[in-house]
Structures are given as structure tokens and as C-alpha cells.
Structure 1
Amino acid sequence: MLPSSSKKLLPPYVSYRTFLNFLEGLQQTMPARIDRSYWGDRLSGSTGTQLVSALRFLDLIDVNGFPTVKLRQLVTSKGSQRTELLKQVTHESYSFFFLSQVDSQAATYAQLEEAFHDNYQIANDVARKCIKFFIGLASDGGMKLSPFVTKKTRNARPSAAVKKSGRSLDKKAGTEIPQHSGLIPNGTGMDKLLIDKFPEFDPSWPDEVKLKWFTAFDELLKRTGG
């Protein structure tokens, strides 16, 4: 039998910017259900799946993908009301941290990292992405977090080599490619064929298998120019 922690929904590790852009898109029209037919034209397979998993973890959609009251309130709210809703979502979703003995306003980055590892079976790279999303959500919720955590996250910047590579790709394509947008570029027919041939994601897989699927899919996107 798998450990109980392996059956938990993983904390969001999709780009927080992708999450915000998705919420903004819902302001136009809220679909009856959040499924692949809705987000498939906007996001890559791995990014879309990570986003849906994030919405589930935050209790913004139910197990069948239907929007919850909380999501509808969040999408229509503004100003202080939106901030308060984000604070509520953060407190409820990350209770494993806020209800621990660690002081959220004085914790070191290592303590926050340990809280994620103690409660979820995730690799270090995934934990880093989880923490980045958590800090973005908590900050937008007006929550005061430890400066030892926020400072380290702000200082985590892409290397010069990565930035240079990104600029070269933008220039070659003749258009700006948003970082971490998760969008699928207009590739060749072979690129699309390879992506279409990739195994369909199954939410019932163990978390270890899910992580391997995400890693393999991201590698496929890199090979095909995604």
C-alpha cells in the first residue's frame, strides 16, 4: 500500500503568473467545467495539467472540474475583497505550514522547505516551484511572510546563459515569447504529431509517476522547440 502522503494532491508548482492569467481569462466568461477542451488551446499539456491540479489543491474546482463558489467569488472580486479571499485560500490550503510550530514571519527558507518535504513526497526542484507559487499567493493575499523567505525567492534569478538563450529565441522567432507562459508555439506538423502521440495524463497515477510524466513532457517540448 502506498503511503498516505502519496495520495495527497501536490501543492501548486505551476507558474504563479500562469495561474493569475488564467483567473483573468475567467473574468470574461466562466465555463461550466474546467477541462482540456477549455484550456487546451491556451496551454501546453503539462502546464494545463499542473494548473488543474493547482485549482484542485486550492479548492477552486471540485474533483470533476466544476468551479466552486470560492473560484467564482475570487474571479469577480476586486481590491480588498480579492486580497482577503486570497488570504483565506492561502490559509486553508497551506494549513500544514501555518498550523505548524514554525513562525511564518520569522521562518528561514530551509524551514519552509522542510515543511513541504515533511508533508509531501516531492523532489527539491518541485519543492522550489511549490514555494515560489506559495509566496506569490500569500503576498497577493496581503500576508506578511518572513523576509528570510521572500528575500531568497527574489534573489533566485535565471542565469545569464538562460537569459541570453531566451533573447536569442525571441529574436529568431521575430516575436516576444512570454516566459513560463506554457503556451504551445505554432510548430511544425511533426512537432504536433509527437505531442499528440504522448501518453494521456492520468490523474489517478501515483505522484512519483506524475512527476516523471511532467519531466518527460517538458523534455519533449524542448526537443520540439516548445
Structure 2
Amino acid sequence: MPVTSEKPAPYAPHSSIVELIERYRNRGLPSPVTADVLLRAGISQSLVSRTLYALQVLDLIDEQGAPTKTFEGLRLAPEAEYKQRLSQWLQSAYADVLKFVDPADDDETKIRDAFRSYQPVGQQARMITLFLGLLAAAGMVAEKRGSQPRRPSSPPQKSQRASNGTSQTSKPSPENKKETVTASPTPHQQTSHDDSYEKLLLEKFPAFDPSWTEDLKKAWFEGFKQFQEMARKDRA
């Protein structure tokens, strides 16, 4: 079940997913994997629902909570092949994203653009953190990149020579400092009215809970589809 923009994307903490994989490899997990199992495994109550949903979307457990062949393959992989198996799993789970971005080389803006059509919009930053964190665990990106997406570096401060020949770092004048504080945000920092309205609606939309009955799940997805159609009409 690859991650696509056609259904809500996972945004659980990557540390929770990695810890559960390691626990399954080293100590096992009761089957089926349920909310109660995750609580007993150390996942906090506030993260249980999104973690359980992430395990399903990332093809580690099925809708009944049973471990998939993918999860079992990660458990049985020899240590020398473990990261390779993780890489294969993630290339399949995030195939849709990896068509458009190379996380090892591309900057944060390009990675964010690859997730821009994913729902819920308000959780896209967490989706990216999960994505990069899992890739770091598999050795596909640097560990530092997985913990914090790379940002463009700031240009070094220019220095000027004083009359005595020593180097001094130039400091902004009070006028320049005031202008810096009161400067208007760039277009990328501004939030459009449409995005704010859509985010407000999303905040009122109930979070998906994998423990729901099939009827409730069906009703939730139908409601989410109607919300997407409304959002498209508002943009038009």
C-alpha cells in the first residue's frame, strides 16, 4: 500500500516506527498489532492512532493488524542485509514521492514540493520528517539530514579592514537593524486566505482511527473525499 496523494499520508514520528521495527526484530510483537499492543510497547497514548495508521499505510501490518510479508522480511533479515531491506521497503512505500525527488541531493524546498499535494495539508512538515527519518535509518540519507531537513546556508558576514590592519566584522547600523525587524515577509512566508481556510477546516475534521469499524472507516473516507472536492471548488 504505497503512500500516495489519494489517501491521507502517514505522519507518525519516525522514531516510533524505527523502534517498533527493531522491537519486532529483537523481541517480537503480539499479533494482531493493535492500539493496546502499541501502548504496551511504549508508544504514548497521543501517538497511538497515527502510529497504527502509519504501520498500515507503510505496508508493515494489514487492516486486521497482522504483520505483512514486508514486516516479516525485515524481522528475518540478517544484520548485514538489514539496511538494504529497509531501503527496498522504503523505495516501494514512497515510490510516488521518489519519482520526483532525490532526498540525498535535493534541498528542502524541492522535497516539500513533492509532498505539497498530500493530505492532511497541515501535517506535511511531519510527513517530511517521517520520510527523511526513515531514509536516514536505512542509510539512504545522512543521519543529520533525517533529524532536520537541510536548509540553504546563510552567506558569511563580510569583514572590513580597520585602519590598524586588523579584521573587524561589519555590524548593521541601527537604521538597517530596524529595517530588518520590520521587513515584510517573503511570498513564501505569506499564507494565502484559501490555504488558511482549508487548514481551518482540516483542524475540525476528525482524525482517522484505524481501530474504527469498517462502516466508520468508509464514512470517514467518503467525508474526506467530499472535503477535497469542496477545497478544489473553493480554489477555482
TM-score normalised over the length of structure 1: 0.58
Percent same amino acid among aligned pairs? 23
In structure 1, the partner of 2:73 is 73
Question: Which region of structure 1 is more displaced relative to structure 2, 70-79 or 134-143?
Answer: 70-79
**Are the aligned partners of 1:10 and 1:53 in contact in 2 as well (CA < 8 Å)?**
no
Q: List gaps (5 residues or longer) in structure 1.
A: 156-198, 210-226
**Are the aligned partners of 1:39 and 1:48 in contact in 2 as well (CA < 8 Å)?**
yes
- Going from structure 1 to structure 2, the CA distance change for 1:61 and 1:151 (only over 3 Å counts) comes to closer
CA RMSD of aligned residues (A): 3.2
Q: Are positions 1:131 and 2:122 aligned together?
A: no
User: Partner letter of residue 59 of structure 2?
Assistant: D
Q: Which of the pair is proportionally richer in helix? A: 1
Q: List gaps (5 residues or longer) in structure 2.
A: 152-206, 225-236
Question: Which region of structure 1 is more displaced relative to structure 2, 200-209 or 30-39?
Answer: 200-209
**Are the aligned partners of 2:107 and 2:150 in contact in 1 as well (CA < 8 Å)?**
no
Partner SS for 2:105: coil
Q: Are positions 1:64 and 2:64 aligned together?
A: yes
In structure 2, the partner of 1:24 is 22
User: Partner letter of residue 125 of structure 2?
Assistant: R
Partner SS for 1:153: coil
- Going from structure 1 to structure 2, the CA distance change for 1:51 and 1:111 (only over 3 Å counts) comes to same
User: Partner letter of residue 69 of structure 2?
Assistant: V
Number of positions where the alignment pairs a residue of Structure 1 with one of Structure 2: 156
Task: Name segments (4+ residues, structure 1) moved above 4 Å.
Answer: 149-152, 206-209
How far 1:75 moved relative to its partner? 2.3
Highest RCO, 1 vs 2 (Cα 8 Å, sep ≥ 6): 1
How far 1:105 moved relative to its partner? 3.8
In structure 1, the partner of 2:116 is 117
**Are the aligned partners of 1:16 and 1:133 in contact in 2 as well (CA < 8 Å)?**
yes
Question: Which region of structure 1 is more displaced relative to structure 2, 42-51 or 200-209?
Answer: 200-209
